[in-house]
Amino acid sequence: MKQLSTEVAVIGAGPAGMATALTAARLGRKVVIFEKGDYYGGAIGGGKGPLGINTLQQRRLQRVVTEDEAFKYFMDYSHWRANPALVAAYVNKSSDTIHWLEDLGCEFNSLNAYVEGGNHTWHVYDDSEYSICDRIWAKAKELGVKIVYGAAGKDLILRDGRVVGVQIVLNNEMEDVMADAVVIATGGFGNNAEMVAKYTPYELGKTVCAMTRNCDGDGIRMAWDAGASKGYMFYDAFAGLPHPQLGGPGGFCSELRPFRQPNLLFNQQGKRFTDETAMCNGAYGINAIRQQPGTYAYMILTDEILDHYRADGFAIALPSQDPFTGRYEDWPRGFEKKMEEVIREKQSPDLYMGDSIEEIAAQIQIDAETLKTTIEEYNKFCDQGQDQIFHKRRSFLLPIRGKKFYVARLSANSYATLGGININEKAEVIREDGSAIQGLYAAGNDANTICVDSYCFEMPGHTSGFAYNTGRIAGENLNTYIDSCK
């Protein structure tokens, strides 16, 4: 068995790992990143941009979200189950992290709210030429940071309750890496079917589609084996089409975005089950849908609804963006052509088209009379301008009438899994009794527990924002820890 040594061993070369590595290297530490795959940037290539609170960009657009407001928002959203000290550390550092990234050459060209009534916290980066992680890596490499690709973390090495290294598998051989501090930043467990089934309500590849290459839960398991407290685990999920080419960002490719609107939803029994306004927020929409039989539901559109959107635009435009650039289409374009193409070429079993309700019901194998009754009742509410059951907003009540009917079966899509390891405000991994495991830190998705059970779309940029910020926090605090040991 080979043995290597470094001051700081970082497991994972995604946003959290890269931020940790550069921060520690700037403080004079010798850093080696061990990456399971053959690339850096993680499953999302560094992300489109992080959350920022009380930033210069917000002030310029008069869209300021203060630290006080953000702290209370996250705490209220989690029903105060999140760690207040960790939330505060994250929120208070986020503005400085935007400046930190700008100093590395990142230019944030828009400020997004993402959902109606949300906060303008998502600082979107123009990644057409370089990703955020490209910028970080360029500087880290100058400072001597190294990445070892194809290196999967296996077990932490402990001595007297302190983490002093990590065992990795490289080229099918076991190697011990001795280190003063180890940082887990492995991106979550979204590619681990067993963990997904055990810790979420979904079944990987069947009831959820996830964009999580190499995120096998290795880091979470290693931390648990070392005595770490288990943090809440969930999917950053939203309602959409599971087919990767048809799903697209946010659950639907651009042509099929009408299915992202708050139109009539019904389940496999042909019954309506919610106020469809839940579709305005990805997390709320999938939370409503996953409670239905099979953890999926159907949305129905008509040619008359499409004509309405062509005249007036979509009911909800996601994401909302300042300044408006026209990048996100707010009118249906190419919808009918795309539907015909997908159905003709049998590209997906989740899209249906017909000339009558009976034809649609036969295709999706539900009782036609039940579905007709559901639609008749819904249309009555639309005509009256009042939803007497679920109290849906009047402006969203569009009747299901027309010569052509379009249906999509919606299930869970996901950007990532979040949570698994509990950390404190210093990004130290903690035990059940709250004490820190000395020498062990975690950052990013593996430790992102502050939303508790549903991604907070009202504070967009949170996934990559938490990764970059906790990565920096880990890098700073492990430096202090190493100094105290020596």
> What's the CA gap between 388 and 391, in Å, rounded?
6
| Neighbouring residues of 444: CB distance < 8 A, sequence distance ≥ 6 | 12, 14, 15, 16, 17, 185, 187, 466, 467, 470, 471
Going from the C-alpha of 145 to that of each of 31, 36, 131, 379, 479, the distances in angstroms are 5, 17, 18, 63, 15
pLDDT computed for residue 249 by the predictor: 75
Q: For residue range 32-72, what is the model confidence (pLDDT) as tens digits?
A: 999 999 999 997 788 889 999 999 999 999 999 999 999 99
Which run of H or E residues covers position 123?
A: strand 122-125
Segments of the chain assigned to CATH 3.50.50.60: 2-233+419-485
Give the domain 2-233+419-485 fold.
FAD/NAD(P)-binding domain (3.50.50)
- Checking if the pLDDT of 441 tops 80, the result is yes
- Checking if the pLDDT of 127 tops 80, the result is no
Q: Dihedral angle at the C-alpha atoms of 372, 374, 375, 377, nearest 10 degrees?
A: 120
Segments of the chain assigned to CATH 3.90.700.10: 239-413
Q: Which residues pair with 382 in a beta bridge?
A: none
- Checking if the pLDDT of 462 tops 80, the result is yes
> Which of residues 478 and 205 earns the better pLDDT score?
478
pLDDT computed for residue 123 by the predictor: 96
Residue 393, Ramachandran bin (φ over 0: left; ψ between -120 and 50: alpha; else beta): beta
pLDDT computed for residue 330 by the predictor: 72
Query: Over pLDDT 90: what percentage of the chain?
Result: 84
Q: For residue range 169-190, what is the model confidence (pLDDT) as tens digits?
A: 999 999 999 999 999 999 999 9
- Checking if the pLDDT of 355 tops 90, the result is yes
Mean pLDDT, residues 382-396 taken together: 97
Mean pLDDT (the chain) is 94
pLDDT computed for residue 327 by the predictor: 57
Give the domain 239-413 fold.
Flavocytochrome C3; Chain A, domain 1 (3.90.700)
Give the closest residue to 321 by CA, choosing from 173, 111, 141: 111
pLDDT computed for residue 322 by the predictor: 58
- Checking if the pLDDT of 22 tops 60, the result is yes
pLDDT computed for residue 245 by the predictor: 83
Q: What angle do CA 416, 418, 424 make, to 5 degrees?
A: 145
Given a contact cutoff of 8 angstroms between Cβ atoms, the answer to whether 370 and 358 are in contact is no
- Checking if the pLDDT of 212 tops 90, the result is no
